[in-house]
Amino acid sequence: MHHIVTFYETKSGNCPVAKFIRSLPDKPASKITSTLVDIEQTEHPSYQTLQKMTGTADLWEVRVKHDGNIYRLLGFFDGKRLIMLTSAFKKKTQKTPRQEIKTAEARKADYYKRKESK
């Protein structure tokens, strides 16, 4: 069973993760895209690539390194296969910024609220 990676959209149709990836130069954007394809095609992605974040409301982190830079995409599983990515950023410190976690958790809550009201 493979994974399905998708991006969270706001109620107004904005897609923060896609916007972040499009804002990057071609090489890091390509590296992130190929990492996401690998996650979709791999039964058990490596711990270095996809990891559950401790101290969060069941958030997961996709890790991508390119040219000395570290990129993080935060999201969650909706079921066993669907990985919903809610936010992305270039990591500049050892610890994931608390605001990034709060943003991802708020988008997760919004996603489920809107999903239940359909």
Q: What is the pLDDT of residue 34?
A: 96
Give the CB-side neighbour count of residue 70, counting CA atoms within 13 A.
Answer: 12
All residues at 6 or more sequence positions from 16 whose CB lies less than 8 Å from its CB, including other chains: 7, 8, 10, 86, 87, 88, 107
Query: Cα dist. 81→62, 74, 77, 102, 113 in Å?
Result: 15, 16, 7, 24, 20
How far apart (Å, rounded) are the C-alpha atoms in residues 110 and 118?
A: 13
Q: What is the pLDDT of residue 103?
A: 96
User: Chain-wide mean pLDDT for the chain?
Assistant: 93
Q: Are strands 4-7 and 82-91 parallel, antiparallel or unpaired?
A: parallel
| pLDDT tens digits along 65-84 | 999 999 999 999 999 899 99
| pLDDT tens digits along 44-60 | 888 889 999 998 989 99
Categorize the per-residue pLDDT at 1 as very low, low, confident or very high, splitting at 50, 70 and 90.
low
Mean pLDDT, residues 23-43 = 95
For every residue of 5-20, DSSP letters joined together read EEE---TTS--HHHHH
Categorize the per-residue pLDDT at 95 as very low, low, confident or very high, splitting at 50, 70 and 90.
confident
The domains located in the chain, with CATH, are 4-116 (3.30.2310.20)
